[in-house]
Chain A
Amino acid sequence: QITLKESGPTLVKPTQTLTLTCTFSGFSLSTTGVGVGWIRQPPGKALEWLAIIYWNDDKSYSPSLKSRLTITKDTSKNHVVLTMTNMDPEDTATYYCVHRLNTNYFDYWGQGTLVTVSS
């Protein structure tokens, strides 16, 4: 059974760096074709894909946010970490961790974590 769970701060101040951790189980991020990514959703708005890391350590980022994002993995701990620098109130959103296999549709999602950016 595949599960993913997001953790991190619920409140960050503008200009701070956000660090989110996705802890997963039921699969290995060293298996060919597997990827773990991040998607966010501002309150009442649509889904926005942010980043993904693959089994072979390849990474992809949203072009509009690429300069602010870093995604890393710790395969032994079943963790994926997303950092986003220079947080702004417009980054207030629920951040989801997602699983993919072989192609980028997302078959498993974490419950999400709401991050509020406010001074």
Chain B
Amino acid sequence: DIVMTQSPDSLAVSLGERATINCKSSQSVLYSSNNKNYLAWYQQKPGQPPKLLIYWASTRESGVPDRFSGSGSGTDFNLIISNLQAEDVAVYYCQQHYSTPPMFGQGTKVEIK
């Protein structure tokens, strides 16, 4: 299994500032034949199911605000929330979709400072 490790477990950011969440995989999720990183990010607000934000490490899902961006390759990835808004308070999960089982990180809780 590919183990996903996120850091930090939680962070508090002021409104309008940037939040950066890191996700590391225990092995590369870069598929050499298509040069794509099989890494997704989700946002989960209290009492709601997770919502897909980003796939292929950096492709935003339709309707996701452009203040959400993903970067990284191989085993090291970041989710960046620029210009943090109050509605961005949530837990964020990374997930590898390179191999089965598709494993999730432990989650990062983002709060307002």
Residues of chain A at the chain B interface (Cβ within 8 Å):
46-49, 52, 60, 62-63, 96, 103-107, 109-112
Contact = CB atoms under 8 A, between A and B. Distances in A.
Given A46-B106, A47-B93, A63 B55 contact: no
Contacts, number: 51
Please classify the interface of chain A as helix (H, G, I), strand (E, B), loop, or mixed, using the class held by over half of its residues. strand
B49 A105 contact: no
Contact of A60 (B42, B61, B101, B104): B101
Contact of A46 (B49, B61, B97, B107): B107
Interface of B: 1, 38, 40, 42, 49-52, 55, 61, 93, 95, 97, 100-107
B51 A109 contact: yes
Residue among A48, A103, A110 having the largest count of chain B Cβ atoms under 10 Å: A103
Given A49-B101, A62-B101, A63-B1, A105 B50 contact: no
Nearest to B31: A103
Nearest to A97: B49
A103 B52 CA distance: 13
A104 B97 contact: yes
Given A105-B55, A105-B95, A111 B49 contact: yes
